[in-house]
Amino acid sequence: MTAVAAPSSAIGDPAWAAATDESVATLRDLIRIESVNPPPLGAPDGELLVARMIASLLTDAGLEPEIVEPVPGRGSIHVRLRGDGTGGDALLLLSHLDVVPAPPERWSHHPFAADVHDGYVYGRGAVDMKAMIAMELAVVRLLAAEARAAGRDPARDTIPGLRRDVLFTCTADEEAGGLAGAKWVAENRPEWIRAAGALNECGGVSATIAGRRLYPIQVAEKGFAAYRIVIRGTWGHGSMPREDNAAVLAAAVIKRLSVPGPTRIVPVMARFIEQAAAALPDEVGAILGALSGDDTGRAEAALSVACDPMYARALRALLRDTLSPDVVHAGIKYNVIPGDAVVEVDCRVLPGTTEPEMRAQVIERLGPDLTPVCEVELMVFGAPVEAPAEGPLFDLLISTIRDHDPDGIPLPVMAPFATDAKHTATVGTPTYGFSPLRLDPDERFLERFHGVDERVSIDALCWGLPVLYDVVRRFCG
């Protein structure tokens, strides 16, 4: 049987080079807009400014985007490209506009300068997730240009060859739970995100392990439960130490919460482990395979030797509910024993773990001695979500990766963090982490998320753009 040429092959190399250059320029412009969440004092409208920049690019392409601003400065943007309606429900290209703060002191390049150095674009949002916005925008603009070349109005007429609509939606506030972004959209503009499937951040990115190039595609993500633990001690003079010093009690709370809990292998991770073990060399595969066996302690110990610490840390997080004490407040002066302290803990929950069950784990960790002096308050909860690791869209993601990298090994995985998929799930849209990038084997990609010197390589964007285009063209054509 003769292989069907990829849609991207109909676009010549010079045009792809121009599209890549345009994507890099777009990415740099996006990074330079400090859409930090929470918005800093004096700059509350970063997300709205990004939305307006994207709207300008879409308008220049002949489209008619819409911006909403449910909270002042927190803008989200949407545009629809029309198919002829014969192919089924739409495909959603989803992304978020906000980024986490980036204190510049330890960066080698200013986090909002968007410097290009040694083939990488540096800046907060380069990975999470303005590179995906730039690629999605490039695909949308290519489709609009193809409509104009055929004498059609891309804002109102069908795009040549499309049988499904393509939705492009960028939301605010993802980094703080999406309440002013995707959640608001789901409740007030559900047509912006209701689709046969969605492509989102955090998947389709190569990871070189034991010489093999894996492409984990996110089909599930853990939920989150953030708790504020208020600790009551006794105020006193620092010259007379006491056991009920709230800072000392907070230290005990942190120590107990930071111990890794028992493992639980959920079905999507069992499938990932099985497929990854089969694809990797025998020694490494055997270690991975043992993770789903009875002696997980021995297997985890072996992970630290056989697996890069970055990947081992991610795997451990995907095999259990996790608790991470991340914020501590105590004390007013060096010679005053604090009577109050606060510890904020980030819990990430596996599919099947409810919020009451997670709270019970926290209280059990505190134990009968600390629980009486602690008040556990839920700050925010987001349930785990999961999409089918099968079907037309998922199968297409797999086959398209293989077309562009015959040696690549795509496989389903769960993400340890949460995305706006928790809100698309409420309108019935199965959402996949698929922002395709082929990375240098030595790139520390997972450490770039919310980290210092966040960056993305231009070569990775050059590879990923036609991959994304082919998925859109094939699923919607």
Closest CA to 130 of 138, 224, 176, 67: 138
Name the pairing type of β-strands 207-209 and 212-221.
Answer: antiparallel
pLDDT (mean) for 260-286: 89
Identical fold at 7-219+385-476 and 223-382? no
Identify whether the C-beta of residue 387 lies closer than 8 Å to the C-beta of residue 457. Answer: no
Closest CA to 125 of 453, 382, 399: 453
DSSP class of residue 406 equals T
pLDDT of residue 41: 86
Q: What are 344's strand-pairing partners?
A: 228, 327
**d(Cα 99, Cα 46) in Å, to the nearest integer?**
10
Checking if the pLDDT of 159 tops 80, the result is yes
- Residue 285's pLDDT band (boundaries 50, 70, 90)? confident
For residue 327, give Cα distances in angstroms to 7, 50, 230, 247, 342. Answer: 49, 30, 12, 13, 8
In which element (H, E) is residue 59 found? helix 46-60
List CB contacts of 165: < 8 A, sequence separation 6 or more: 80, 81, 82, 83, 85, 89, 90, 91, 476
Show me where the domains of the chain are located.
Answer: 7-219+385-476, 223-382
**Strands annotated E in 123-162:** none
List CB contacts of 258: < 8 A, sequence separation 6 or more: 323, 324, 325
Q: Choose the weakest-confidence range: 111-115, 179-183, 263-267.
A: 263-267
Instruction: Note the pLDDT tens digit of each residue in 430-467.
Output: 999 999 999 999 999 889 999 999 999 999 999 999 99
In which element (H, E) is residue 132 found? helix 130-149
Instruction: Note the pLDDT tens digit of each residue in 44-94.
Output: 999 999 999 999 999 999 999 999 999 999 999 999 999 999 999 999 999
pLDDT (mean) for 321-341: 97
Torsion over CA: 23, 24, 25, 30 (sign) = positive
Closest CA to 443 of 134, 211, 217, 207: 207
Instruction: List the CATH code of the domain at 7-219+385-476.
Output: 3.40.630.10
Identify whether the C-beta of residue 37 lies closer than 8 Å to the C-beta of residue 11. Answer: no
List CB contacts of 60: < 8 A, sequence separation 6 or more: none
User: What proportion of the chain, given as a percentage, has pLDDT over 70?
Assistant: 96
DSSP class of residue 439 equals -
3-class DSSP assignment, residue 211: coil
Instruction: Note the pLDDT tens digit of each residue in 33-47.
Output: 999 999 988 889 999
Longest distance between any two alpha carbons in the chain, whole Å: 84
Instruction: Looking at 206-266, list the stretches that DSSP marks H as alpha helix, in order from N- to C-terminal side.
Output: 246-257
Q: What are 78's strand-pairing partners?
A: 66, 169
Q: Choose the weakest-confidence range: 213-227, 299-313, 338-352.
A: 299-313
Instruction: Note the pLDDT tens digit of each residue in 466-477.
Output: 999 999 999 999
Give me the amino acid identity at 268: V
Q: Choose the weakest-confidence range: 95-99, 268-272, 287-291, 416-420.
A: 287-291
pLDDT (mean) for 92-107: 97
- Residue 296's pLDDT band (boundaries 50, 70, 90)? low
Q: Measured at the alpha carbon of residue 389, what is the angle toward residues 387 and 390, in degrees to the nearest 5?
A: 115
DSSP class of residue 5 equals P
Checking if the pLDDT of 1 tops 60, the result is no
Give me the amino acid identity at 56: S
pLDDT of residue 306: 59
Identify whether the C-beta of residue 76 lies closer than 8 Å to the C-beta of residue 51. Answer: yes
pLDDT (mean) for 349-367: 97
- CB count in 10 Å sphere of residue 357: 12
**d(Cα 72, Cα 81) in Å, to the nearest integer?**
28
Fold of the CATH domain 223-382:
Alpha-Beta Plaits (3.30.70)
pTM for this structure?
0.93
Closest CA to 212 of 297, 281, 295: 281
Task: Name the average pLDDT for the chain.
Answer: 94
pLDDT of residue 294: 60
